[in-house]
């Protein structure tokens, strides 16, 4: 067996079959989680301040509930949306990529001559 050519030993991504690509697009395009979590945080930020108990600190409690719901929803939304279209992927060793491709039924051609663009 020949030694791999000198150069980078890791690659950022693996070719996906069209079936896997369709599954990824379908998972990323789902609006149901956004609707459900928006409703949950909407209840916290809209309904709970209305039913807050009367007292000297009612305004502060209402403000805290609204700000908590808004910031938690925004944080959740950013984390959820970042998973839909990640900016970076895992760095995998060349041997790992070859093994994964073979096990998933998508063997890659000889990668000894493969050199990713910098």
Tell me if 59 sits within 8 A of 84, measured CB to CB.
no
Confidence band (pLDDT; 50, 70, 90) for 117?
Answer: low
| pLDDT exceeds cutoff 50 at 76 | yes
Predicted local distance difference test score (pLDDT) of residue 94: 85
| pLDDT exceeds cutoff 70 at 68 | yes
Predicted local distance difference test score (pLDDT) of residue 101: 87
The pLDDT tens digits for 9-19 are 444 444 444 45
E strand map for 1-118: 10-11, 92-93
pTM of the model: 0.55
Q: Residue 90 has what DSSP assignment?
A: -
């Amino acid at each position: 067996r020949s030694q791999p050519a000198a150069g980078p030993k890791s690659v950022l991504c693996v070719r996906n079959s069209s079936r896997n690509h369709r599954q990824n697009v379908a998972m990323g395009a789902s609006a149901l989680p956004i609707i459900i979590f928006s409703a949950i945080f909407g209840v916290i930020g809209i309904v709970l301040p209305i039913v807050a108990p009367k007292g000297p600190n009612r305004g502060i409690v209402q403000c805290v509930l609204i700000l908590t719901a808004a910031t938690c929803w925004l944080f959740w939304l950013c984390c959820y949306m970042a998973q839909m279209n990640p900016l970076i992927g895992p760095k995998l060793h060349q041997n790992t990529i070859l093994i994964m491709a073979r096990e998933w039924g998508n063997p890659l051609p000889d990668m000894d001559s493969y050199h990713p663009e910098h």
